[in-house]
A and B are shown apart, each in its own frame.
Chain A
Amino acid sequence: MPANLNNYYGIDFGTTTSAVVGYMVMDHKPEQFFYGDDEGRPLPSVVAINKTTGEITTGREAWNKKMELSETCEYFSSVKSVLDRDTRTTIAGREWTPVDIAAELFKTLKTSVKERTGNDLSIATVAIPIGFSPEKRDKLRSAAAKAGITISSFVSEPTAAFFANYEELRSSPIVAVFDWGGGTLDVSILKNENGRISELATAGSNIAGDYIDNKIAQRIHAKIARKKGIELAFSDMPSSAQDLMLVRSERAKRALGDDDTATISINNYGPFGACRELLDYDWFADIVEPEVSMAVDCLKKAIEQSGVGLANIDRIVMVGGSSNLRPLIERMDSIYGEKLFFPDETMWNVGQGAARLAMTPGDYYSNQSIGIILSDNSFFALLSPDTPLTNWNMECHFGIVDTNEEARFVFGGSSDIEESPARFKSLSVPAYRFLQEQIILRAFVDENMVFKVIAGSTMRPREYRRVWDYSQLKCYYKLPEMRVEL
Chain B
Amino acid sequence: MEAYIEKLNQLIAIKKNKGNKITKKEREEFLSAWGELIVAENGFSETVERYFYEGFVFAGAKPFVQWVLLSEDKFSAINSLFKGHFFGKDTPTSFRVLVSTLAQLIISNPTEKNLICPVIENIPSVSKTKENKTLVDGHKVILKYFISELNSSSLFPVLSELNIKPTVIRSFVEVFEVMINRLDLTSLSTKDAQKVVAINKWLHPDNEVEKAEKAELIVSQDSQNVVKERSEEVLNQVEQNPPRHFYNPYDQLISMLNETISLSRGLRDESKSTEKKCTVLQEAVSNFQREIEVLNNQLKTSKQREASLEKQLIDRGTQISGLSLQVKSLEDEIQKLTEVLEAKDQEIDQRTQMMDALSRDRTKQADEQMHRLASDLKVEYRDFHDAETLTMDCDLGENMREQLKNVFSILSKVGISLD
Taking Cβ atoms with an 8 Å cutoff, the residues of A that contact B are: 1-5, 24, 26, 31, 33, 38-41, 60, 64, 115-119, 240, 244, 247-248, 251, 263, 265-268, 273-276
Contact B383 A268 (CB under 8 A): yes
Contact with A along B368-397 (1 / 0, CB 8 A): 110110010011001110110010010110
Q: Which residues of A contact B354 (CB under 8 A)?
A: 3, 5, 24, 26, 31
Do B357 and A24 have beta carbons less than 8 Å apart?
Answer: yes
When C-beta atoms are compared, the residue in chain B nearest to A41 turns out to be B372
Q: Tell me the bound Cα distance from A100 to B396 in angstroms.
A: 46
Contacts A2-B343, A26-B350: A266 and B360 contacting too (C-beta < 8 A)?
A: no
| B367:A38 contact, CB within 8 angstroms | yes
B293: interface (CB < 8 Å): no
User: Are B353 and A274 in contact (CB-based, < 8 A)?
Assistant: no
Contacts of B224 in A (CB 8 A): none
Q: A116-B360, A248-B379 are in contact. Are A2 and B350 (CB under 8 A)?
A: yes
Known contacts being A265-B402, A267-B386, is A117 close to B360, with CB within 8 Å? yes
Asked if B399 and A33 make an inter-chain contact with CB atoms under 8 angstroms apart, the answer reads no
Asked whether B398 lies within 8 Å of A276 as measured between CB atoms, the reply is yes
Check A274–B369 contact: CB distance below 8 A.
no
Nearest chain-B residue to A114 (Cβ)?
A: B360
Quick one: which of B351, B364, B403 contacts A267, CB cutoff 8 A? B403
In the complex, which residues of chain A have a beta carbon less than 8 angstroms from the beta carbon of B386?
267-268
Distance in Å from the Cβ of A294 to the closest Cβ of chain B?
29
Could you say which of B371, B372, B387 contacts A274, with CB atoms under 8 Å apart?
A: B387
- Pick the most buried of A64, A248, A268: most chain B CB atoms within 10 A of its CB: A268
Q: How far is the CA of A40 from the CA of B368 in the complex (A)?
A: 5
Query: When A3-B347, A38-B368 are in contact, do A267 and B357 touch as well, CB less than 8 Å?
Result: no
Closest CB-CB distance, A119 to chain B, in whole Å? Answer: 7
- Interface range on chain B: under 10, 10 to 19, 20 to 34, or 35 or more? 35 or more
Distance of A423 Cα from B286 Cα, bound (Å): 123
* Residues from chain A with Cβ under 8 Å of B379 in the complex: 244, 247-248, 251
* One of B350, B368, B402 near A276 (C-beta < 8 A): B402
Find chain A residues with CB under 8 A from B41 CB.
Answer: none
Residue of A nearest to B351 (CB): A3
Within 8 A of A (CB), among B175-194: none
Q: For B368, what are the chain A residues with a Cβ–Cβ distance below 8 Å?
A: 38-40
Query: Are B371 and A38 touching (Cβ within 8 A)?
Result: yes
> How far is the CB of A252 from the nearest CB of chain B, in Å?
11
Which residues in chain B, 125-181, are within 8 Å of chain A measured between CB atoms?
none
Given contacts A265-B402, A266-B383, contact A274 B361 (CB under 8 A): no
Bound Cα distance from A96 to B71, whole angstroms: 122
Q: Which residues of B in the span 332-380 have a Cβ within 8 Å of any Cβ on A?
A: 343-344, 346-347, 350-351, 353-354, 356-358, 360-361, 364-365, 367-369, 371-372, 375, 378-379
B400 within 8 A of A: yes
State the Cβ distance, B369 to closest chain A Cβ, in Å: 7
Question: What's the nearest-Cβ distance from chain B to residue A28, in Å?
Answer: 13
Please determine whether B395 and A276 come into contact, CB atoms closer than 8 angstroms.
Answer: yes
Contact status of A116 and B361, CB under 8 A, knowing A5-B354, A39-B372, A276-B402: yes
Nearest-Cβ distance from residue B411 to partner chain A, whole angstroms:
15
B375 and A119: CB pair below 8 A?
Answer: no
Nearest A residue to B409 via CB reads: A255
Cα of A404 to Cα of B398 in the assembled complex, Å: 88
Closest-CB distance, B250 to chain A (whole angstroms): 135
21 residue pairs A–B, Cβ–Cβ below 8 Å = A1-B343, A2-B346, A4-B350, A5-B351, A24-B354, A31-B354, A33-B361, A38-B371, A116-B360, A116-B364, A117-B361, A118-B356, A119-B357, A247-B379, A248-B379, A263-B402, A265-B403, A266-B383, A273-B390, A274-B393, A274-B396
